Chain A
């Protein structure tokens, strides 16, 4: 599934850093997808009390953080050459950093509790709050202020991507790139989930 990712590398059309659209932007789409799946499993855990759902929620959040951090670093690299410095205090940069810190706190919270049932339940509730905070920090607040990213105050369109600025050829690469990166993210998450479930079973048998 992850081989789809090769498509953006092969595209040899635009000799510009605009090509980062195929790498930096799908990181955030992937993060958003993984966090969404994570909160769905957190809710399912609260309804069913099934520990497997808790494992799903944790691992999806973990992979989401991986892609979020990668998105942040790639954004800083890109900004260094496009906007002059790696961190210009852009509202979207700050918002994304805050959202990631909230998710880091999720793992701190989990690490601080020894009682497994209590840990799973409280972290599932926290996961829902963290997911709720994701929307103001990366989707709403950057739109309300002036931003270097597309979609800030005074510029048209959607934050993250502006359909008016992309050509049909770019769309043709961009959409498979999003799908490919998301599938890659889901795949590496399921690897960890399978490992975690096997480990739990092993512990239960001992």
Chain B
């Protein structure tokens, strides 16, 4: 930072509302964050996605000022806030456990932030009323916290964070304590409010399906470092690493070979683009189950036998054993439930196209689509 604590402006950075730079943190033991950086654009809903213990919540607490990083900085609207105490940041945080004040009723919970800001009585009541209305809890003011259901508590936590008109909304696994149906309802609710207020939001979750359905952009974090930043579609269809491919959705990892510049997979040959950086020899491929087609044995393609199947309502998953390949590998194939006609033991043929196959570089642990014209951005947003 320079003397005024401002970054030099340029058109590219003006869009960035929140910037996280090279955060490092350890709680005395191994590092929790290892040079973690990303930016969030104004009005955007950005999901931090990763397995438990990957450092997501630590990032959120550093942004909120509840923790200080060992190294690195946090910038909000071009101003560094790394050393600002939480009360001077004006950010709205929704905690995983909701962290509602059990000794206060709903009204006082929501009003807490306004009372700290010495908002006079009438305005305070009006704003609490509005906030409760926004989360569809009008009339719940006098209730005690323990009288509310989990979903209602979650709404109170949201109202309490929103009422202070926060500069950012920080959500720490806000739906993880709710049952499946309620999760989907409240997800829509959060999205509606976030859009209505055009609020820059960080949403921490370990649920990849939730992240994909709600985020404008996803930051995939693993072991304290960024694995990939991209739109939900990018992250799902063009994972930048083996970890991302594995963590998000289901995927088959298959052994193939590069022979004479072509990929040989279960006897099928695929063209490899000239500039594709793989050496001759054994190679690890990844294919999503729903990108593989399954057909009658007389069709052309990879021959296999149905080793088992599981019914999931809308889809059916087959485990198909490839008898011709070494080690008799099994491939998982997912088809629409309506089109599932095969039974266990049936001979089938599998088909896949060049655009369905990713090659994983096991040395650098990066992934690349065989059919891609350009490499997907591992850190496309950093430029």
B partners with A:
no
Chain B positions near chain A (C-beta within 8 angstroms): none
State the A residues within 8 Å of B (CB). Answer: none
